[in-house]
């Protein structure tokens, strides 16, 4: 079985607001200065496949965009990673999304965080 990565798309994943990389099934080098998001690209692919980052962290807060103090920047933003793969010449698309669930209880004025939901 031959598997090639054709394209990877990230939305609101770690430091990347929106990023699309066209690999076209070829070898690709990703390089740049420290702290510019190279590892986040790898983390996105690992999260898509296995639900964790390259260091093995599975907590959803590690995948959402955060500020320098580690606080989530936008709780309404949907985190999404999508990959187009060529599997034995046939194109297959995989997608994982992460959305925070906020609810306002009757009689309350503020929404309360109720966890996360993922779609595959």
Spatial distance between the Cα atoms of 69 and 119, rounded to a whole number of angstroms: 28
Token duo for residue 76: 């309404």
Average pLDDT, the chain: 92
The Cα-based distances of 85 to 10, 43, 81, 93, 108 in angstroms read 15, 17, 13, 6, 46
Give the global pTM. 0.87
> What are the tens digits of pLDDT across the range 67-114?
888 888 888 899 999 999 999 999 999 999 999 998 888 888 888 888
Pick from 43-47, 54-58, 71-75 the range whose average pLDDT is largest.
43-47
User: What φ, ψ does residue 46 adopt, rounded to 5°?
Assistant: -65, -40
DSSP 55: T
Q: How many CA atoms lie within 13 A of 56 on its CB side?
A: 0
């Amino acid at each position: 079985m031959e598997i090639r990565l054709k394209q990877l798309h990230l939305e609101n994943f770690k430091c990347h607001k929106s990023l699309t990389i066209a690999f076209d099934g070829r070898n690709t080098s990703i390089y740049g200065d420290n702290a510019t998001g190279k590892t986040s690209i790898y983390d996105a692919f690992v999260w898509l496949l296995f639900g964790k980052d390259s260091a093995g962290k599975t907590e959803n807060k590690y995948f959402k965009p955060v500020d320098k103090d580690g606080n989530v920047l936008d709780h309404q933003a949907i985190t999404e990673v999508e990959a187009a793969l060529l599997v034995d010449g046939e194109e297959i698309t995989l997608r994982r999304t992460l959305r925070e669930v906020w609810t306002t209880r009757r009689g309350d004025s503020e929404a309360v965080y109720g966890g996360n939901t993922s779609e595959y």
